[in-house]
């Protein structure tokens, strides 16, 4: 076919453009999946970012009670079990921060020794009160004489380790009366004056000294764990009752602590108890007191004292109040993982118990 002049060039141009369009279309066809993958990856990244941010924002909106700071300087801090151990360490620390300190214990001689030690170390003269927390009338007189309390630290505690089958019921009652009923007595005696004119005096605190045995039951701790688990229910309900009065409850969970009480406890502790409890280690009283006071000042409901205690706090968070948005986020996200860790601990503990009983049977 003969094309007019110029027509041939136009036909060649049309063919070239058609080939170019086909080439671009094929390139787009092969490149499209990679662009789709890129968009999908971008959307996935946004979801991974937005989901935790949305959860954190939601927790920020719903958490109650709200964060608070409990001042210590120039406040009246009343500590039971304050003549030795963690209680005495706490008395030293609050006195060094400028608090007015009152300590209560059964032995007047030990109280006087503690008073001298506090004054020598901090220059603060602590008020001392000799009374048994099981005696409500004696506690009430001490609280009335001490004056309105801003920070109440209920620290007294006794522990006699023994399997329930071998333990006398008098020892069980003794632990329940001192650790649990003694706490009720102390709070009941102190609460009316703590509430009085509270808004003018600033936020107050009631801190209860529990134990890691108040988070998980341990072999040989049957009665002791019962008394310390009881404090959990007391604290959770009490926080709801006193929050309107600007009073904030804390629950402290120390592990085994190097105190005179631990020395006596180890004399009777079943060997299986020592094997199981050894996983958490032993802390110094000063270190426990430091972490406890830090938690009290920040108004934390649950105050763990070491890493194992932190894991237990997450694992047993349940319905407990949480003021920290970050900790609430960790509790929600890590709950399943921590549950797996606790099952591993249980596997280890029950394995130790099985080996122990198998050894006893062989001998």
112/116 Cα distance (integer angstroms): 6
Question: Which among 102, 115, 225, 228 is annotated as catalytic?
Answer: 228
Residue pair 209/153 in contact (Cβ under 8 Å)? The answer is yes
137/143 Cα distance (integer angstroms): 10
Question: Which among 224, 225, 250, 297 is annotated as catalytic?
Answer: 224
220/161 Cα distance (integer angstroms): 5
228 is catalytic: yes
Residue among 288, 89, 293 nearest 207 (CA):
293
Please give the full DSSP string across 12-73, using - where no structure is assigned.
HHHHHHHHHHHHHHHHHHHHHHHHHHHHHHHHHHHHHHHHHHHHHHHHHHH-SSPP-----T
Q: Which two tokens stand for residue 129?
A: 């009160």
Residue among 240, 217, 236, 239 nearest 312 (CA):
217
Cβ-Cβ contacts under 8 Å for 165 (sequence gap 6 or more): none
255/83 Cα distance (integer angstroms): 20
Angle CA 292–293–294, to nearest 5 = 90
298 is catalytic: no
Question: Which among 102, 210, 211, 225 is annotated as catalytic?
Answer: 210
- Sequence-ordered alpha helix ranges (H) in the chain: 7-62, 85-96, 108-122, 136-146, 169-175, 182-195, 198-201, 222-242, 260-268, 271-277, 285-297, 307-315, 325-362
Residue among 167, 152, 164, 47 nearest 102 (CA):
152
Question: Tokens 């003549």 belong to which residue?
Answer: 83
Q: Please, what's the largest Cα pairwise distance for the chain?
A: 128
210 is catalytic: yes
Angle CA 67–70–74, to nearest 5 = 160
Question: Which active-site residues does the annotation give?
Answer: 210, 224, 228
């Amino acid at each position: 076919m003969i094309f007019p002049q110029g027509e041939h060039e136009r036909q060649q141009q049309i063919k070239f453009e058609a080939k170019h369009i086909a080439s671009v279309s094929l390139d787009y066809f092969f490149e499209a999946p990679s662009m789709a993958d890129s968009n999908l990856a971008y959307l996935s990244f946004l979801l991974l970012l937005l989901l935790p941010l949305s959860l954190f924002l939601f927790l920020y909106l719903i958490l109650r009670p709200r964060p608070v700071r409990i001042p210590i300087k120039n406040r009246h801090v009343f500590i039971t079990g304050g003549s030795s151990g963690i209680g005495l360490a706490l008395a030293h620390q609050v006195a060094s921060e400028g608090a007015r300190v009152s300590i209560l214990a059964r032995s007047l001689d030990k109280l006087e020794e503690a008073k001298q030690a506090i004054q020598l170390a901090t220059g603060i003269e602590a008020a001392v009160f000799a009374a048994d927390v099981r005696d409500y009338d004696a506690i009430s007189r001490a609280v009335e004489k001490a004056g309105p309390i801003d920070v109440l630290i209920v620290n007294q505690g006794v522990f006699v380790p023994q399997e329930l089958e071998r333990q006398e019921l008098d020892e069980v009652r003794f632990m329940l009366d001192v650790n649990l009923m003694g706490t009720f007595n102390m709070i009941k005696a102190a609460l009316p004056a703590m509430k009085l004119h509270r808004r003018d005096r600033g936020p107050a605190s009631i801190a209860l000294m529990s134990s890691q045995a108040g988070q998980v039951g341990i072999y040989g701790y049957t009665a002791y764990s019962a008394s310390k688990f009881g404090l959990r229910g007391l604290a959770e309900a009490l926080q709801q009752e006193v929050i309107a009065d600007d009073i904030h409850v804390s629950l402290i969970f120390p592990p085994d602590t190097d105190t005179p009480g631990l020395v006596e406890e180890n004399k009777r502790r079943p060997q299986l108890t020592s094997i199981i409890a050894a996983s958490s280690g032993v802390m110094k009283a000063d270190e426990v007191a430091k972490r406890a006071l830090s938690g009290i000042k920040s108004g934390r409901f649950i105050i763990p004292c070491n890493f194992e205690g932190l894991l237990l706090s997450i694992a047993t968070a349940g319905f407990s109040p949480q003021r920290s948005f970050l900790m609430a986020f960790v509790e929600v996200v890590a709950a399943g993982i921590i549950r797996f860790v606790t099952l591993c601990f249980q596997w280890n503990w029950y394995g130790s118990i099985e080996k122990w009983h198998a050894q006893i049977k062989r001998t």
